[in-house]
Amino acid sequence: MNGSALFVHYLPTEVVALWYLQIVAHFTASWCIPSVFMNSFFEDLASSYKDALFLIVDVDEVKEVARRLKVKAMPTFMFLKDGNTMDKLVGANPDEIKKRVDGFVQSSRLEKSPSPSLSASQQEIMPEKKPKSWGLIDWDQRSWAGFMSSLSRYYRHYENNKRTGRIIGPLAIKWNCLCESKMKANVVVAKDGTGKYKTVNEAVLAAPENSNSRYVIYVKKGVYKETIDIGKKKKNLMLVGDGKDVTIITGSLNVVDGSTTFRSATVAANGDGFMAQDIWFQNTAGPAKHQAVALRVSADQSVINRCRIDAYQDTLYTHTLRQFYRDSFITGTVDFIFGNSAVVFQNCDIVARKPGAGQKNMLTAQGREDPNQNTAISFQKCRLTASSDLAPVKGSVKTFLGRPWKLYSRTVIMQSFIDNHIDPAGWFPWDGDFALSTLYYGEYANNGPGADTSKRVKWKGFKVIRDSKEADKFTVAKLIQGGLWLKPTGVAVAHTIGHVAATVSMSKVAVSFTHIIKSGEPAFSVLVSRLFLGETFPLPVYLSLLPIIGGCALAAVTELNFNMIGFMGAMISNLAFVFRNIFSKKGMKGKSVSGMNYYACLSMMSLLLVTPFAIAVEGPQMWAAGWQNAVSEIGPNFVWWVVAQSVFYHLYNQVSYMSLDQITPLTFSVGNTMKRISVIVASIIIFHTPIRPVNSLGAAIAILGTFIYSQAKQ
């Protein structure tokens, strides 16, 4: 439910419940656990939430809030992830209240309502006179302490109004930490010159790169004829218009006139965290021009809210990663929603248009290529209807729910209205029997004249879903947010193996020998990055690795000695650390978990993994007897060495994971190689290894290789 806001003014308990369930969505969480939702806000509703998933925020703050609010069960004050339960809450609101709230939301868009309270009172959502202590939570501050204070204040209002049946106000339901009454545009685009820019492209190009905060571009009403490519580095960028019927971005690139499908998009969004609201995206090429994309989204955690997306063939390219569309209007003909993202459409209008001569309408063409990919197209509580030009000829023009673009295509339609323009067979093959046994097409609890599944296709991959648990896999909570916290168990195993193997290696051979072998980590990283992340690099990048590896080998050539256990330990450590780095990067990509939090989790899990093995191998040597023997043999400095090693080792890894937030695994590996040069040189000095010219030459070559690599990457 990202990208919109709702204002609650003396509304029923269900609406306040909805606010409370979403109000902590922004704050970083660490674990997902089942919990009982029980507090004084929801005594009447508590039984509905016993099996829901919650996200814990700060434990100490949770306890403090629980104490203040007299919460009956712990842990609590968490963000509900269960999409079905959320939908029940939304459905519980009376139609009249929902209508009023929707109307208020529509009328209080960016820079349109200087006084939200006045706007609300004019629509009879709240009284004109309000208590002096009322106020809006300022989400832009992102302050947990401030939030706690505001919550405490609102709770007092709740208690004071409880006896009269009135509810707190004004409160904002925040779907992505964007309170509309507080949200201010960073720049304004206006055709008439009243903004900073006259074109959207100018504003996008001027937007900051790799921004950690939301950057809002307000596009005033008008028709903007331009093609916009929002680059990968333009993160957390948001386009906000005056409405999906008046702020129009239009283009006409198409395949027939020489463009590719990918490049034909009127607007292409690549930067993670992209959001669009109240905008009309068009490609006006027409059905005779074949593929002509209106909007292409390749951004993780992207949100399209209250937008209109119009074209004919290939209207919306949901290219990749996680996407969410809410309250939007999408039209097209052939394969007009396609791609290989994990995408959920909620409460959207999916409208088929009259196609070109001899064409059939296909609402979807999902492109999952691997059964292990967590991608799919999911329609939930949408309306699948025919446009005014298709309705009169729907008897002669076939319209289908979709066809399999790739081998493991996956599409689910649930709890939606399907009109009678949909062919009774429902789905259509791509080419003969291609993908018919490997695809997954499901329908669950739909309604309308086209929802009858008795005459649907009999393919092995088609399913009429009966079990709500099966359908739940394709809700917002599971399909999009379910992968939010990549389970780090496998990463922790690689983390543990890497360190144990390196320690074993250094116990059998010289430190320099271990690091010679480990200097090959960038080469391993290139290979694994290519296979698992799909990253490719220019030839100069690959060539720049040769002097790095060779230089490290030369730097330690005077201390070469061979031992199979030491050699294998270093090689295993090499491979384990590369997998750790790459899958850590995947775990953090597009997620709100930071490198520091991720490493903290890995450290705790690694301790749990290695402790049983350490006890089995070391036995009593782990405890007092072992320490006494070490101190007697080495001296009291042994204790300080252990403490210093622990501190510096932790700091090294902490900085490493902080850097993984910002760089690729290959760059990380090159940095590790420079670390090895330092270790090799230090080991030569500490262990009094004679220095030869070849050592200095090797270090210089490795440093030069790192410089060449940095230039090649640019």
Nearest-CA neighbor of 351 among 361, 366, 338? Answer: 361
* Buried b or exposed e, range 644-670, using 16+ CB within 10 angstroms: eeeeeeeeeeeebbeebeeebbbbbbb
Checking 136-141 for CB contacts under 8 A at 24+ apart, the result is 136/170, 136/171, 136/172, 136/179, 136/181, 136/182, 137/23, 137/171, 137/172, 137/179, 138/179, 138/182, 139/26, 139/172, 139/174, 139/177, 139/178, 139/179, 139/182, 140/179, 140/182, 140/183
Strands in 275-390 per DSSP E: 275-277, 280-283, 295-297, 302-305, 308-310, 316-318, 322-326, 329-332, 337-339, 342-346, 349-352, 361-362, 364-366, 376-380, 383-386
How many residues are given for the chain?
714
Checking 144-148 for CB contacts under 8 A at 24+ apart, the result is 144/27, 144/57, 144/58, 144/61, 147/24, 148/61, 148/64, 148/65
Widest Cα–Cα separation across the chain? 94
Nearest-CA neighbor of 450 among 535, 375, 350? Answer: 350
At 322, phi and psi to the nearest 5? Answer: -95, 130
Q: Point out the catalytic residue in the list 314, 335, 419, 472.
A: 335
Helix (H) or strand (E) holding 504: helix 489-508
Amino acid at 657: Y
Strands in 354-415 per DSSP E: 361-362, 364-366, 376-380, 383-386, 399-400, 410-414
**CA-CA-CA-CA torsion sign (158, 159, 160, 164):** positive
Residue 247 near residue 241 (C-beta atoms within 8 A): yes
Pull the structure tokens for residue 637. 């400095």
Residue 167 near residue 12 (C-beta atoms within 8 A): yes
3-state secondary structure (DSSP) of residue 623: coil
**CA-CA-CA-CA torsion sign (122, 127, 129, 131):** negative
* 370 assigned to active site: no
494, 499, 505, 510: CA torsion to nearest 10: 140
The residues, ordered by sequence, that sit 6+ positions from 28 with a Cβ below 8 Å of its Cβ are 57, 592, 593, 594, 597
* Buried b or exposed e, range 693-710, using 16+ CB within 10 angstroms: eebeebbebbbebbebbe
Alpha-carbon gap, residue 72 to 53, rounded angstroms? 18
Alpha-carbon gap, residue 183 to 191, rounded angstroms? 22
| Percent of residues in the chain assigned helix, strand, coil, to nearest 5 | 40, 15, 40
338: left (phi over 0), alpha (psi -120 to 50) or beta: beta
Alpha-carbon gap, residue 527 to 530, rounded angstroms? 5
Alpha-carbon gap, residue 444 to 401, rounded angstroms? 14
Pull the structure tokens for residue 318. 């949901």
Q: How do 222-225 and 417-418 pair as beta strands?
A: unpaired
DSSP characters over 145-176: HHHHHHHHHHHHHHHHHHTTT----SEEEESS
The rounded radius of gyration (Å) of the Cα atoms in the chain is: 29
Helix (H) or strand (E) holding 442: strand 440-444
**Helix 144-162 vs helix 59-69: angle between axes, to the nearest 10 degrees?**
20
Please identify every residue annotated as catalytic. 335
